[in-house]
Structure 1
Amino acid sequence: LVHCPFLVLQTKGEQVAGKEMSVIVEFTNPLKQTLENVMLRLEGPGVLRTIKKQFG
Protein backbone atom coordinates (compact mmCIF):
# COMPACT_ATOMS: atom_id res chain seq x y z
CA LEU A 1 0.00 0.00 0.00
CA VAL A 2 1.48 3.33 -1.08
CA HIS A 3 0.37 6.60 0.49
CA CYS A 4 0.76 10.00 -1.12
CA PRO A 5 3.64 11.88 0.52
CA PHE A 6 3.02 14.95 2.65
CA LEU A 7 3.95 18.07 0.63
CA VAL A 8 5.71 21.09 2.11
CA LEU A 9 5.10 24.30 0.14
CA GLN A 10 7.13 27.46 0.71
CA THR A 11 6.81 30.72 -1.18
CA LYS A 12 9.84 32.81 -2.09
CA GLY A 13 9.67 36.56 -2.21
CA GLU A 14 6.64 38.80 -2.29
CA GLN A 15 3.15 37.43 -2.97
CA VAL A 16 1.22 39.94 -5.05
CA ALA A 17 -2.00 39.12 -6.93
CA GLY A 18 -1.39 38.98 -10.67
CA LYS A 19 2.41 38.83 -10.29
CA GLU A 20 4.73 35.87 -10.82
CA MET A 21 6.18 34.24 -7.70
CA SER A 22 8.31 31.22 -6.83
CA VAL A 23 7.16 28.21 -4.82
CA ILE A 24 9.39 25.49 -3.35
CA VAL A 25 7.72 22.05 -3.16
CA GLU A 26 9.37 19.41 -0.95
CA PHE A 27 8.43 15.84 -0.13
CA THR A 28 10.10 12.65 1.11
CA ASN A 29 9.98 9.65 -1.18
CA PRO A 30 7.97 6.97 0.71
CA LEU A 31 9.32 4.18 -1.50
CA LYS A 32 12.46 2.13 -1.00
CA GLN A 33 13.59 2.83 -4.55
CA THR A 34 14.93 5.91 -6.32
CA LEU A 35 12.30 7.87 -8.22
CA GLU A 36 12.88 8.22 -11.96
CA ASN A 37 11.01 10.25 -14.58
CA VAL A 38 8.94 12.12 -11.99
CA MET A 39 6.18 14.43 -13.23
CA LEU A 40 5.04 17.23 -10.91
CA ARG A 41 1.80 18.99 -11.81
CA LEU A 42 0.74 22.22 -10.09
CA GLU A 43 -2.51 24.05 -10.59
CA GLY A 44 -4.62 26.63 -8.82
CA PRO A 45 -8.04 27.19 -10.41
CA GLY A 46 -8.51 30.90 -10.99
CA VAL A 47 -5.00 31.57 -9.68
CA LEU A 48 -2.50 29.42 -11.58
CA ARG A 49 -2.66 27.77 -14.98
CA THR A 50 -1.60 24.11 -14.97
CA ILE A 51 2.18 23.72 -14.89
CA LYS A 52 3.87 20.38 -15.52
CA LYS A 53 7.55 19.83 -14.71
CA GLN A 54 9.43 16.60 -15.38
CA PHE A 55 12.47 15.56 -13.33
CA GLY A 56 14.94 12.78 -14.07
Structure 2
Amino acid sequence: MEKFEKVKALVASIETDVEKFYSAGNAAAGTRVRKGMQDLKVLAQEIRTEVTEKKNAK
Protein backbone atom coordinates (compact mmCIF):
# COMPACT_ATOMS: atom_id res chain seq x y z
CA MET A 1 0.00 0.00 0.00
CA GLU A 2 2.91 2.31 0.73
CA LYS A 3 4.25 1.98 -2.81
CA PHE A 4 0.83 2.77 -4.25
CA GLU A 5 0.80 6.00 -2.26
CA LYS A 6 4.19 6.79 -3.78
CA VAL A 7 2.71 6.25 -7.26
CA LYS A 8 -0.08 8.73 -6.53
CA ALA A 9 2.39 11.27 -5.15
CA LEU A 10 4.67 10.86 -8.16
CA VAL A 11 1.84 11.40 -10.63
CA ALA A 12 0.77 14.51 -8.73
CA SER A 13 4.34 15.84 -8.67
CA ILE A 14 4.78 15.68 -12.44
CA GLU A 15 1.38 17.14 -13.25
CA THR A 16 2.63 20.72 -13.49
CA ASP A 17 5.50 19.70 -15.77
CA VAL A 18 3.08 17.85 -18.06
CA GLU A 19 1.01 21.00 -18.29
CA LYS A 20 4.09 23.16 -18.99
CA PHE A 21 5.28 20.78 -21.69
CA TYR A 22 2.00 20.38 -23.55
CA SER A 23 0.70 23.93 -23.10
CA ALA A 24 3.84 26.00 -23.38
CA GLY A 25 6.16 23.63 -25.20
CA ASN A 26 8.72 23.83 -22.40
CA ALA A 27 11.43 21.31 -23.35
CA ALA A 28 12.94 21.15 -19.86
CA ALA A 29 9.54 20.24 -18.45
CA GLY A 30 9.35 17.47 -21.04
CA THR A 31 12.63 16.06 -19.76
CA ARG A 32 11.30 16.09 -16.20
CA VAL A 33 8.11 14.35 -17.39
CA ARG A 34 10.15 11.63 -19.08
CA LYS A 35 12.19 11.08 -15.91
CA GLY A 36 9.04 10.98 -13.80
CA MET A 37 7.46 8.45 -16.16
CA GLN A 38 10.56 6.25 -15.94
CA ASP A 39 10.40 6.42 -12.12
CA LEU A 40 6.72 5.53 -12.35
CA LYS A 41 7.51 2.53 -14.54
CA VAL A 42 10.07 1.23 -12.04
CA LEU A 43 7.71 1.70 -9.13
CA ALA A 44 4.85 0.01 -11.00
CA GLN A 45 7.07 -2.99 -11.71
CA GLU A 46 7.99 -3.23 -8.02
CA ILE A 47 4.29 -3.25 -7.13
CA ARG A 48 3.57 -5.92 -9.76
CA THR A 49 6.33 -8.13 -8.35
CA GLU A 50 5.11 -7.63 -4.78
CA VAL A 51 1.51 -8.47 -5.72
CA THR A 52 2.58 -11.60 -7.59
CA GLU A 53 4.66 -12.79 -4.65
CA LYS A 54 1.79 -12.21 -2.22
CA LYS A 55 -0.71 -13.91 -4.51
CA ASN A 56 1.48 -16.97 -4.98
CA ALA A 57 2.23 -17.25 -1.26
CA LYS A 58 -1.41 -18.06 -0.48
Superposed pair shares fold, TM > 0.5 = no
The structure with the greater share of residues assigned to helix is 2
Higher relative contact order (CA 8 A, sep 6+): 2
What TM-score, normalized by structure 2, do the two folds share?
0.25
The structure that has the greater radius of gyration is: 2
